[in-house]
Amino acid sequence: MPKFYAAFYLISFSTVAQQLEVGSWYVHPSFNRIPALAQLNNQTYAAAANGLFIAHPDGEIEKITLPTLSRAGIRTIASDGAQNQLLIGYEDGQLDILKNKNVFRYSRIRNATEITGSKTIHHINIKNTTAYLASDFGVVVFDLTQREIRETWRNLGPAGEQRKVFQSALKGDSIFIATENGIQGGNLNDNLLDFTRWKRFNQGLFNRTFTTLVSFNGFLFTAIPSDGIYRYDGTAWIRQGYLTNENSYRLFASADYLYVIAGNRMFRISSSNEVVEIISDLFNQPLCVLETPSGLRVGDSRNGLLSGNGTTWMKTLPNGPSFDVPLRLRHNTGRIYAVSGGYTVSFTPAGTEQPVNQIESGTWSPITDWLNRDVTDVAFSGNKSVVGSFSDGLQVITPAENRIFNSGNSPITGNRVTALATSGNVVWVANYNATQSLHRLNPDNSFTSFSFPPLASRFPLDLVVDGAGQVWMRLNPTTGGGILVFNPTTNNHVYLTEAAGTGGLPSRNVYALTVDRNGWVWVGTDAGVAYFSNPGGVFSGNVNAVKPIFEGRFLLREEKVTAIAIDGGNRKWFGTERGLWLFDATVTQQLNYFTTANAPLPSDRIQHIVFDDAGNAFMATDKGLVTYRSDASEPQNRLSSIKIFPNPVPETFTGWVGISGLTEESTVRITDLAGRLIWQSKSNGGTAAWNVRDYGGQRPPTGIYLVFAITADGKETLVGKLALIN
């Protein structure tokens, strides 16, 4: 069974980065953006999309992520002080109830077949033993004592049509809701299942979507963007004279104050309408505010949780990436790099401002002196670091200089770089929507540019260099697709598609390219995978990819293969939109299949996979980033030392013992001190994994065991010791 390092933990990834147990997972949520806060037992709960953390009064931080939480995609949280529990609402309708470090998972809303469309829970309002869940299909009235739905108010529109509900507010014996078409109110003692029992405010200026609604000082307050804040006195909505004509509003209330986030500024308003701006240098874009006995807590869009009293503010930001969803991951000299991506679905610049993130020895940090807008890729050649952007071109960093190349001083058209690839001392650059769509950045930082006749070649999205130095360009499926292969030595090119004799791909819609340890080029399409075992042969004039057969069918023929990675044992990892497959080196045996149902993946949609030297697979999904410790790693050139983890093996351990630092196809034998063979296997690259069972399937007795590592040619041997406790 896989091991999860994700729940309530006070250890950092740096303590386990190189020593995750084989088969273990580690989740990397970003806590920079905090859209929801709650206070419970003098502790502040700060929610991000893929997890939350508890800020204790003494400064201690507890992270809570998958698999303690049921999934990614948190939208809102609310505290139930009476029962000492926290409610967590998700974008898919899931509801978690966190109490005493245990989570009760309520999936009835998410699984409800009678509800079509989105089930997002936007807001939770608690009164006594009842929680009101504002959702995209109406309001769920949830009994907090029985932990069951009491009733669901659906189809609340004027004619009984469905209405999205974004927030609720309670006033006396009535509930008011902010909907996609105005504000509605109803008496809680009435039959609110009947849409005709609701009072509606949806005329004139109120004929619009409302997303914010609070109760303060005996009144209701809402806001209209570019207009102002409105107060309901029981008869009419009255526009207030403060903070008018702001582009956006978010309202929050305490017993004594109304808090308004207007644009990227925050204000406190008293019951006598005294307006005071709350200022902090740490504010980037406040998203929410919570008043606590020890001061204000603010959830920011970039700086995590901010705590302040008056003019003094501090930041609480657990270590992690600064964004959740990388477009691409790269590995270089002990570091993993994550880039956020830079184009929209229509391939225009997205305007995303996020620095390249790197993780080294378990610690994430942003690289602030590299390009940070619409970054698509990074590459490394000697002492040169290269950063590509979809809006700012190319940055080249060496110890001696830091230069930007764009359409004004280089052949890079439109500044639109989509991918980079290193080959020896040159870096290849993919230029999107350009006649010369491929550039070679030479060691002296000059460029050599290339163009190709196929129109589809103008739109490259990824680059891979094979063992012969040929450049493989993955082309945008929406503009022709296929693969363009270029040989810079002969200056020849070939365009590969699904047509027989000119590629024979499963489909010209190509979403992944990689080269395995044998030099074969693997291709992922929306109709399965294929490979070229002789990449140089694609110029022969009649070439077809090999479509591997598994269980009598083309491999993954019904899957959209979006990522391919090769581990140290030359095994194949295929990421799809329905999870992650692991096959052996010859793709004749399926070794594993991971989904959100059996692993703490934020999503089944895998976007990119990269391995570090220790055998940790970093996987980017469309909702977040995780690490999996595989039982393979990069092999060593020779045996110099072996690492055994865990060692000693405690009696409670039920996983796999990892033995790393091995050479390719090393033989690993475990014996007792008398020389009796307990177990034997071969390494996957530089790692072997033992399930702590002997040949009879039994756990060996307590004792000291010898671990022998023998190279494939038998010329080198190392011996280690392993302590086993039962």
Residues 190, 275 share a domain: yes
Residues 503, 450 share a domain: yes
Please name the residues in contact with 530: beta carbons below 8 A apart, sequence gap of 6 or more.
504, 505, 506, 522, 523, 545, 546, 547, 548
* Residue 190 pLDDT: 96
- Rounded to whole angstroms, the Cα distance separating 39 from 292 reads 7
Among the candidates 261, 285, 316, a domain finishes at: 316
Residue 11 lies in a domain: no
Q: Which residue range forms the structural domain that includes residue 674?
A: 643-724
Residues 688, 617 share a domain: no
Residue 648 lies in a domain: yes
Residues 274, 207 share a domain: yes
Confidence of residue 309 (pLDDT cuts 50, 70, 90): confident
Of 258, 302, 311, 249, give the one whose Cα is nearest residue 280. 311
- Rounded to whole angstroms, the Cα distance separating 584 from 567 reads 10
510-515 and 24-27 as β-strands: parallel, antiparallel, unpaired?
Answer: unpaired
**pLDDT over 90, % of the chain:** 92
**Per-residue pLDDT at 501 exceeds 90:** yes
**Per-residue pLDDT at 382 exceeds 70:** yes
* Residue 8 pLDDT: 40
Contact 703, 587 (CB under 8 A): no
- Rounded to whole angstroms, the Cα distance separating 22 from 4 reads 11
Residue 414 lies in a domain: yes
Of 590, 662, 604, 658, give the one whose Cα is nearest residue 630. 658
Six token digits for residue 200: 């509606």
**Per-residue pLDDT at 13 exceeds 50:** no
* Residue 19 pLDDT: 63
Task: Provide the mean pLDDT of the chain.
Answer: 94
Confidence of residue 6 (pLDDT cuts 50, 70, 90): very low
* Mean of pLDDT values over 239-248: 96
**Per-residue pLDDT at 1 exceeds 90:** no
Residues 401, 349 share a domain: yes
* Mean of pLDDT values over 681-691: 93
**Per-residue pLDDT at 254 exceeds 90:** yes
Among the candidates 289, 316, 343, a domain finishes at: 316
Among the candidates 281, 316, 351, a domain finishes at: 316
Confidence of residue 18 (pLDDT cuts 50, 70, 90): very low
H-state helical runs in 582-653: none
The dihedral formed by the CA atoms of 107, 109, 111 and 115, expressed in degrees to the nearest 10: 180
Confidence of residue 7 (pLDDT cuts 50, 70, 90): very low
Residue 692 lies in a domain: yes
Residues 654, 568 share a domain: no
**Per-residue pLDDT at 95 exceeds 90:** yes
Confidence of residue 15 (pLDDT cuts 50, 70, 90): very low
Residues 264, 213 share a domain: yes
Residues 656, 601 share a domain: no
CATH number for the domain spanning 514: value is 2.130.10.10
Residue 296 lies in a domain: yes
| Single-letter amino acid, residue 87 | L
Residue 38 lies in a domain: no
Residue 28 lies in a domain: no
* Residue 14 pLDDT: 38
What are 563-573's pLDDT values in tens digits? 999 999 999 99
Residues 222, 144 share a domain: yes
**Per-residue pLDDT at 310 exceeds 80:** no
Residues 543, 508 share a domain: yes
**Per-residue pLDDT at 12 exceeds 60:** no
Provide the number of structural domains found in the chain.
Answer: 3
What are 142-164's pLDDT values in tens digits? 999 999 999 999 999 999 999 99
* Residue 541 pLDDT: 85
Contact 600, 608 (CB under 8 A): no
CATH number for the domain spanning 669: value is 2.60.40.3080
Confidence of residue 3 (pLDDT cuts 50, 70, 90): very low
What are 397-448's pLDDT values in tens digits? 999 999 999 999 999 999 999 999 999 999 999 999 999 999 999 999 999 9
**Per-residue pLDDT at 73 exceeds 80:** yes
- Rounded to whole angstroms, the Cα distance separating 438 from 707 reads 50
Residue 153 lies in a domain: yes
Residues 665, 625 share a domain: no
Its pTM stands at: 0.91
Element (H or E) spanning 444, and its range? none
Residues 204, 346 share a domain: no
DSSP E strand boundaries for 438-506: 438-441, 447-450, 460-465, 471-475, 483-487, 492-496, 502-503
Q: Which residues face 228 on adjacent strands? A: 224
Question: How many residues in the chain?
Answer: 726
Residue 468 gets the label, from left (phi > 0), alpha (psi -120 to 50) or beta, of alpha
Of 517, 518, 582, give the one whose Cα is nearest residue 556. 582
- Rounded to whole angstroms, the Cα distance separating 507 from 499 reads 9
* Mean of pLDDT values over 666-686: 94
Going from the C-alpha of 398 to that of each of 393, 395, 415, 443, 544, the distances in angstroms are 17, 10, 21, 11, 42
